Amino acid sequence: MGSSSTRKRGSKQFWPRVRAKKITPVVNNWVVKNPPKEANFLGFPVYKVGMTNVSLIDNFSHTLNKGKEISTAVTILECPSVKILSLRMIGYDEYGNRQVLKEVSAKLKDKNLSRKIDIAKKNIAMPSLEDLKKFAKENEVLELRVKVVTNPSLTTIGKKRPDILELGVSGNIEDALNFSYSKIGAEVKASQVLSSGELVDSHAVTTGKGFQGAVKRFGVKLTSHKSEKKRRHAGNVGAWTPTRVTHTIPLAGQHGFHERTEWNKWILKISDKIDEINNSSGFRGYGIVKNEYMLVKGSVAGPKKRLLTLVKATRPNKRYPKVAPEITYINR
């Protein structure tokens, strides 16, 4: 006999379960708990390579395996350098709406960038740093952000058209402005923003699985073989009154390709020694890593070749050591 009452299937925290608007993840809030003391970027875009396992010396303070060699699963992320496209000043307009008050763009001449946006042919003179400081003071600028351009052509994923996304900048307005202004048009590496042993939040679009039924989408149990009409559907979709199906009922619909955030991913290693992880045939479904790479403990959302945005931890977990463990072996 089946149970008369079961728990709700599917988390209502993620609702509605619709497709992401675009494949590049959007980070709306750049407020982190422990920002860098010096002005720096608060995140970095990376490409997912795949997963493997490593052997490391456990350096957690309260574990049975402390000081012993253990094996753990890791995700490999390739981190090609990015170019700073523009500087954006965020504040309130005369109507009290939060928006971009001023944007200063760099003079980038890139063939691949012209595939994404229209590049102005005329050279427009950039305002001086003093003029920007004066503008920020007069208009009460709240925060600074930069628009960066990725370089997928440096990887082996077979993509040339770059992605454009925003990154937050830490520090007070004056320090952030000095730092960002000096980086406009320059290239930035992942090792300049993130470090080994650091906790980050992963923003990504999950693997798309298309239109799926209630069993796969919500984990609903199969009904009895004597049930009426169907087996792979919810046995009860609501009461007779009111005569409607509420949004809490598990029904068929889009599954996957949702924008999701995962907290506290531990960076085990950042290095540019690609011979440590590459093999002769490369990674299945990706290819050979050519740029700086990153090892993150556990899994992250999205399929291979998907762009992710790593952000400094919004609410870091105190149990993680601040020093990365010693990696003794990488399976490749």
Segments of the chain assigned to CATH 3.30.1430.10? 82-188
- Mean pLDDT over residues 94-99, rounded? 86
* Per-residue model confidence (pLDDT) at position 35: 83
pLDDT in tens, 84-96: 988 999 988 888 8
Tell me: pLDDT of 68 over 90: yes
Taking the C-alpha atoms of residue 305 and residue 82, their distance in angstroms, rounded to an integer, is 16
Average confidence (pLDDT) over 312-319:
92
Q: How far apart are CA 210 and CA 253, in angstroms?
A: 8
Which of 222-231, 253-262, 315-324 is predicted least confidently? 222-231
What value does the mean pLDDT take over residues 281-286?
A: 90
- Report the sign of the C-alpha dihedral through residues 187, 190, 194, 200, in that order: positive
Residue 246 half-sphere exposure, CB side, CA atoms within 13 Å? 9
Specify the domain boundaries for CATH 2.40.30.10 within the chain: 12-31+49-79+195-222+249-332
pLDDT of residue 121: 65
Total-model pTM = 0.90
pLDDT of residue 257 exceeding 90: yes
Kindly indicate whether the domain formed by 12-31+49-79+195-222+249-332 is annotated with CATH number 2.40.10.10. no
Q: Is a pLDDT exceeding 60 seen at residue 239?
A: yes
More confident site: 6 or 88: 88
Tell me what pLDDT residue 281 has. 87
The CATH T-level fold of domain 82-188 is Ribosomal Protein L3; Chain: B; domain 2, (3.30.1430)
Each residue of 285-304: pLDDT tens digit?
Answer: 999 999 999 999 999 999 99
Q: Which of 79, 68, 69, 43 is nearest to 277 (CA)?
A: 79
Three state DSSP letters for 247-306:
CCCCCCEECCCCEEEEEEEEEEEEECCHHHCCCCCCECCCECCCCEEEEEECCCCCCCCC
144: which strand partners? 89
Q: Which residue has the tokens 């531990």?
A: 266
